[in-house]
Chain A
Amino acid sequence: MSAATQPAGSTSGHARHQLDEVIHAPVRFSIVAALATTDEAEFGAVRDAIEVSDSVLSKQVSTLEAAGYVKVRKGYVGKRPRTWLKLTRAGRAAYERHLAALRAIAGA
C-alpha cells in the first residue's frame, strides 16, 4: 500500500511527487527513520529516541500501521506488558523511495 502522490516507479514529474504522504509528516518521518535502523524496537525506546509523548507516538504509529508500514506486536517481558514496533517490508520500501525523492529534491 503506497500513499505516494504518484504510483511507485513513476518517472514523470518533479521528485516532490514521489514523496510519501504518510511518511512525510515530521513525527512519522522520525518514527520511520528510527525504526529503519533496527529489526524491532520497544515502544518506549522509540518514544525516548524521538522525544515525543506516549499518546503522540501511539497516534502516529496507528496511522503508520493502517498504511501497512509498521507492525505492532504486544507481549510480556516477565509480568510487564511490552509493545514492539517493526518496520514492515512495505514500510522500508516506501521509506527508501521517500529518501530517494528527498535526495533528488536536495540535489536539485
Chain B
Amino acid sequence: MDNITSQEARDQLAVAQSATVTTTHDRRVHGLATAGFGVAMGAYVAIQRALDGTGAETPLLAVYAIALLALVTWQTRAARSVPRSSRLIGYVGLAGSFVLMMATIMWLNVRSTGRLGGVEGQPESWGILLLAGVVIALPMLVAGARILRGGAK
C-alpha cells in the first residue's frame, strides 16, 4: 500500500465516482411509494370527513390500512436498494404530512362549528375536502419527487 502512485489514486477515485448500486427503478419505487403514502393519508382524511356519520368509517379504515400495507409490501419487494438519504427525506415528508393533517383536521373541526367560512351542521363541500387532502399529501409528494430526482446526494 505504501507504493501507490498518483495515477493509481486517480483510478481509484474514478471507481468511487462511478460506483452505484441504486438503479432508476429503485429510485422510482421509493419515490412513488413515498408519494403514495401521502396520497393515501390525504385521501383517507378527506373521504373520512365526507363519510362521517354514515357508518362507513370502519370499512374505510380497513381499506386505508390495506392500502398502506400493500404499499409497504410493494416497496420492499420491488426495490433492491434504498437510495442514499431517501429514508430521511421520507421521514421528513411524513412528519410534514402528519403536522398538516393535524392542522387540517382542526381547521375542518372549527369550520364545522360555523366559523372560518363553514356552515354549522352542513357537510363540507368536495372542493374543501379535496383541498384538505392535497394539503396533507403535499409534503410526501414533494419528498417522493425528491427521491425520484435523486434526493440529497
Q: How many A-B residue pairs have CB under 8 A?
A: 80
Residues of chain A within 8 A of B10, CB atoms compared: 106
Q: Tell yes or no: B145 within 8 A of A by CB.
A: no
Q: Is the interface of A mostly helix, strand, loop or mixed?
A: helix
- What is the CA–CA distance of A29 and B19 in the complex, to the nearest angstrom? 10
Is A42's CB under 8 angstroms from B16's CB? Answer: no
Is A39's CB under 8 angstroms from B87's CB? Answer: yes
Which residues of A, 6-53, contact B by the 8 Å Cβ criterion?
16, 19, 21, 24, 29-30, 33-42, 44-46, 49-50
Is A19's CB under 8 angstroms from B4's CB? Answer: yes
- What is the CA–CA distance of A21 and B2 in the complex, to the nearest angstrom? 10
- What is the CA–CA distance of A5 and B80 in the complex, to the nearest angstrom? 35
Total number of A residues with any Cβ neighbor in B under 8 Å: 31
Is B85's CB under 8 angstroms from A39's CB? Answer: yes
Give the nearest-CB partner of B76 in chain A: A77
> Smallest distance from the beta carbon of A23 to chain B beta carbons, Å?
10
Query: Beta-carbon contacts of B38-80 to A below 8 Å, as 1s and 0s?
Result: 0000000000000000000000000000000000000011001
Q: Tell yes or no: A105 within 8 A of B by CB.
A: yes
Is A105's CB under 8 angstroms from B9's CB? Answer: yes
A38-B21 contact, Cβ under 8 Å, with A77-B77, A102-B9:
yes
Is B1's CB under 8 angstroms from A37's CB? Answer: no
> Smallest distance from the beta carbon of B57 to chain A beta carbons, Å?
32
Is B21's CB under 8 angstroms from A45's CB? Answer: yes
Give the nearest-CB partner of B4 in chain A: A16
Is B15's CB under 8 angstroms from A78's CB? Answer: no
Q: Tell yes or no: B115 within 8 A of A by CB.
A: no
Residues of chain A within 8 A of B20, CB atoms compared: 34, 37, 49
Q: Tell yes or no: B128 within 8 A of A by CB.
A: no
Of B9, B16, B84, the contact of A38 (CB 8 Å cutoff):
B84
A sample of 17 inter-chain contacts (CB < 8 A) reads A30-B15, A30-B19, A33-B15, A36-B84, A37-B21, A37-B83, A38-B83, A39-B83, A39-B86, A41-B21, A42-B80, A49-B21, A99-B13, A102-B9, A102-B12, A106-B13, A107-B6
14 new A-B pairs (CB below 8 Å) besides A29-B16, A34-B19, A36-B84? A16-B2, A19-B1, A29-B12, A37-B84, A38-B81, A39-B86, A41-B81, A45-B21, A50-B19, A77-B76, A103-B9, A103-B13, A105-B9, A106-B9
* Residues on B facing A (Cβ under 8 Å): 1-2, 4-6, 9-10, 12-13, 15-16, 19-22, 76-77, 80-87
